[in-house]
Amino acid sequence: MTCRAVRGAITVEENSAEAVESATRELLLSVVQANRIKIKDIVQVIFSVTVDLNAQFPAVAARKLGWQYVPMLCTYELDVLGSLRKCIRLLLTCHTRTPQNKIKHCYLGGAVVLRPDLVK
């Protein structure tokens, strides 16, 4: 097995705990399903949010999914003029046999504009 990283992002409609948790759950499930990742193979997850999202930590959604032993970090994105708003990003590192060029990165909702080359 090799250690690989998977990227993903999703936008939310509003800055509420429910919206952040729901979107994060959708993103996490999309990433693990698309790449057939088992929780025991996840090394870490780094979440970042835009500065307009402060109602909830994205990691709360992961904990509610049962990811009790996965190390996680939540941080803010740089507040760059003109950048996408109300966006949750993740960098998930895992052990996998999948080659790097076969990893499926997940960009959902308004976040598809971040990496349209990776969205099918």
Q: Which of 7, 94, 97, 106 is the catalytic position?
A: 7
Question: Catalytic residue at 107?
Answer: yes
Q: Which of 3, 14, 36, 63 is the catalytic position?
A: 63
Question: Catalytic residue at 18?
Answer: no
Q: Which of 26, 87, 89, 94 is the catalytic position?
A: 89
Question: Catalytic residue at 36?
Answer: no
Question: Catalytic residue at 7?
Answer: yes
* Binding site members for prephenate: 7, 89, 107
Of 93, 75, 85, nearest to 111 (Cα)?
85
Close Cβ partners of 39 (under 8 Å, ≥ 6 residues apart): 32, 66, 67, 70
Question: Catalytic residue at 74?
Answer: yes
* Binding site members: 7, 89, 107
Close Cβ partners of 108 (under 8 Å, ≥ 6 residues apart): 8, 9, 10, 11, 23, 26, 27, 30
Question: Which residues are annotated as catalytic?
Answer: 7, 63, 74, 77, 89, 107, 115
